[in-house]
Amino acid sequence: MTIRDHAGVRALVSLLFAAVALAAPASAAETSSGIRGLVLRGPTQPVCTIGTPCEEPAARELLSVTRGGRIVARIRTGSDGRFRVSLAPGRYTVATTASGFGRSASPVFVLVRSGRYARVTLRIDTGIR
């Protein structure tokens, strides 16, 4: 092999490493931020009494996360109403996607900071009165 051949091999290897780096999943530092939270629904009965829960976790609720008016994630809550999504730092809106009577929940505006998970709670009004 000539010196010229070695330079070509080095360039090819560098190019391959760059391609692998671009295709690799985001590093831990890039995904160590996002949103986690809880979705509750209530009231669950017409008359709420002290000492008796009047709301419950919203299991399997579909949520959308938007940034700049564009949906960046769709996630579903667990059976306990909790959710977690990794996101880059920035401003986001989290909202339930279901609609109809007794399904209203105001969107929550969230600021995600680098290296942190912002915590949010969404409350779905069931319409029971």
81-100 pLDDT, tens digit per residue, is 999 999 999 999 999 987 66
The whole-angstrom distance between residue 37's C-alpha and the CA centroid of its chain comes to 9
pLDDT at 15: 43
Q: Say which CATH architecture domain 34-125 belongs to.
A: Sandwich (2.60)
Among 6-10, 67-71, 93-97, 111-115, where is mean pLDDT lowest? 6-10
pLDDT at 89: 97
Confidence of residue 26 (pLDDT cuts 50, 70, 90): very low
Q: Is the pLDDT higher at 20 or at 38?
A: 38
- Write down the domain spans for the chain: 34-125
